[in-house]
């Protein structure tokens, strides 16, 4: 084992590969997976590193509570739980691991979409209730449809890769495209997605310009009734406006893995009432923020973070 490098606070579920790798590199790992924000300042104060997911907000106050902090690792995608700018001022390195769960999110989005379009989940529940309805559950195929992907980073590009085996057109918009654009994907502006898309899938980070990105104006700009998929962040979609769109029929269906308030029971009553109504609709399928929550993703995210931390020599 290398010379001791200091303590690391593990404030998220991780695969043993990360703990073992950090310890072999000379760190000691303090496990506090169920940590609260109030407990964090005391537990982080002597740490040189921290691994977090969505449980902790690494804000200015918490960063200041750890004068020896050298790096922060984020299990998953989206760095909104970390004050990255302030960390940079302090010389603290910040690492994400979107490569680790991008395939899991993409597979989940495809599964939700197929389940919705072919009435798999809904008819399964009917069958279990002793109801046999064929004509009412006649589905639609992906073949010939146009998909609009908004956000073509790790998860958006993984989603396109998996769907490339289906005979559909794939349009993609990204404000700052970094991924290589494969031949089956057409990079375009949102105007073309508004005009042509039958399905719109969000794969954007949570930041100021993506809060309420999907709203009444977005719905009205769409030329055709369409299906919405959101596996990014709950506040990207305005729940009340989505509900309006479903009621009007402009939104043909919705696949939702994330919500404005999680769990749904924590929602303000007016939003919870709308969500409860949506969940009773046969054209809405919902899951409890598990798109990136596969067994394989836990390993891959842990391995990615380990490689990033150890690879920098920290």
What positions carry a catalytic annotation? 233, 262, 289
Instruction: Please provide the DSSP assignment of 74-138 as one string.
Output: ESSS--TTB-HHHHHHTT-EEE--HHHHHHHHHHHHHHHHHHHHTTHHHHHHHHHTT---SGGG-
**Token pair listed for 85:** 């700018």
Measure the CA–CA gap between 33 and 13, rounded to whole angstroms: 6
Q: How many residues does the chain have?
A: 314
**In terms of Cα–Cα distance, which of 293, 307, 300, 296 is closest to 95?**
307
């Amino acid at each position: 084992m290398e010379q001791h490098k200091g303590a690391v606070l593990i404030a998220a579920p991780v695969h043993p590969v990360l703990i073992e790798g950090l310890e072999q590199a000379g760190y000691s790992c303090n496990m506090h997976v169920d940590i609260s924000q109030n407990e964090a300042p005391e537990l982080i104060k002597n740490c040189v590193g921290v691994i977090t997911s969505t449980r902790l907000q690494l804000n200015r106050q918490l960063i200041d509570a750890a004068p020896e902090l050298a790096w922060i690792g984020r299990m998953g995608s989206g760095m909104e739980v970390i004050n990255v700018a302030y960390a940079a001022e302090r010389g603290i390195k910040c690492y994400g691991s979107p490569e680790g769960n991008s395939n899991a999110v993409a597979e989940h989005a495809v599964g939700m979409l197929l389940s919705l379009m072919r009435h798999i989940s809904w008819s399964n529940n009917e069958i279990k209730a002793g109801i046999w309805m064929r004509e009412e559950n006649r589905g639609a195929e992906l073949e010939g449809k146009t998909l609009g992907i908004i956000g073509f980073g790790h998860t958006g590009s993984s989603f396109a890769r998996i769907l490339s085996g289906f005979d559909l057109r794939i349009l993609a918009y990204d404000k700052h495209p970094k991924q290589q654009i494969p031949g089956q994907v057409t990079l375009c502006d949102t105007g073309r997605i508004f005009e042509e898309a039958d399905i719109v899938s969000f794969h954007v980070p949570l930041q100021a310009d993506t809060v309420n990105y999907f709203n009444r104006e977005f719905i009205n700009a769409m030329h055709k009734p369409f299906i919405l998929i959101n596996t990014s962040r709950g506040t990207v979609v305005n729940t009340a406006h989505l509900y309006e769109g479903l009621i009007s029929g402009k939104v043909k269906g919705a696949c939702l893995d994330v919500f404005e308030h999680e769990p749904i029971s924590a929602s303000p009553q007016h939003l919870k009432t709308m969500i409860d109504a949506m969940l009773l609709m046969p054209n809405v399928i919902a899951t409890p923020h598990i798109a990136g929550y596969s067994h394989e993703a836990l390993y891959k995210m842990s391995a990615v973070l380990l490689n990033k931390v150890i690879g920098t020599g920290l």
